[in-house]
Amino acid sequence: MRNAFSEALVRLAKADPNVLLLTGDHGYALFDEFRKACPAQYINAGIAEQNMVGMAAGLARTGFRPIVYGLSAFIPVRVVEQIKLDVAHDKLPVIFIGDGAGFVYSHLGTSHQSTEDIACTRAIPDLSVYSPADRFEVTACMDAAYQSKSSVYLRMGKSDRGDVHAAIPKQKIGALLQARPANAADIAFIATGSMVRTALDIATASYPDAGVWSAPFIKPIDSAQVAAVCRRARTVVVLEEHSVLGGLGSVIAEISAEFAPVRILRIGVRDRFSHHCGTYEYLLNEHALDRAAIEQRIRDFLAAT
């Protein structure tokens, strides 16, 4: 995913000299190719993320297309106020990249784990929120963010769980992407980011007739399409490496409640911090987001309905 992001970044910057990359003293190896190809379009703003967003806002006002990069614990969480007032309020074309979303920076503790970034950003008016699942969705989301000429937050996990698609999907902004066809109406899976691969694996192994949809666009999202998925299923399982409060599960539940009521199982991070540090796989296990724990939750939920 990060390679796809780097390639898209270099391609956009080569095609448009107004594209500028701003980083808060992160991503050196990731941006080796960018610095080599477009050295005059690279700005290391240092560990001063709030100032960096202000710089991006000023650059956007003068015709540049800033792309602001940081760990998602800092971009956007540390700079929510600056994103809201400096950028989104005036609908400036700034793209924010939050790398390492979820538990990927596991050993660095709660300060570097980001499970609330979707909730923080989706409530800000005029700010789109993207959450790609694989390298193909990263490319599609980068192109969509650039072409939209609006304020965008793109959430990217460093854990590459494998491809979801065979090629770059070509669908409109806001659409759910069908990762697996639906043959029956008993259960449907909607997932985002790293959890799409998990949803596919679980559906393939245990629910062969279930459809699986990827949600690379959290906001805007096609409410009519979501409602259609909900109408066709008896149960909708939503998976995300993010808090169950304010994330994709909340989005789907809100749409369902208004247009197509159905039982929804929201699988994500419960309302708590990590108790310990450890590997990425350890933290998925601690928060019951490993495959075995998710499969058990689904079985329990279905048995109770």
Which residue type, as a one-letter code, is found at position 174?
Answer: G
For residue 246, give the 3-state DSSP assignment: coil
Look at residues 170, 164, 173, 161 and name the one whose alpha carbon lies nearest to residue 130. Answer: 173
Domains of the chain plus CATH, in order, are 2-156 (3.40.50.970), 177-303 (3.40.50.920)
Look at residues 134, 152, 143 and name the one whose alpha carbon lies nearest to residue 91. Answer: 152
Which residue type, as a one-letter code, is found at position 188?
Answer: A
Task: Tell me whether the omega of the peptide bond preceding residue 17 falls within 30 degrees of 0, making it cis.
Answer: no
Look at residues 151, 174, 172 and name the one whose alpha carbon lies nearest to residue 83. Answer: 151
**Which residue reads 């990060």 in tokens?**
2
One digit per residue, the tens of pLDDT, for the chain of length 305 reads 889 999 999 999 999 999 999 999 887 789 999 999 999 999 999 999 999 999 999 999 999 999 999 999 999 999 999 999 999 999 999 999 999 999 998 989 899 999 999 999 999 999 999 999 999 999 999 999 999 999 999 999 866 778 888 899 888 999 999 988 877 678 999 999 999 999 999 999 999 899 999 999 999 999 999 999 999 999 999 999 999 999 999 999 999 999 999 999 999 999 999 999 999 999 999 999 999 999 999 999 999 97
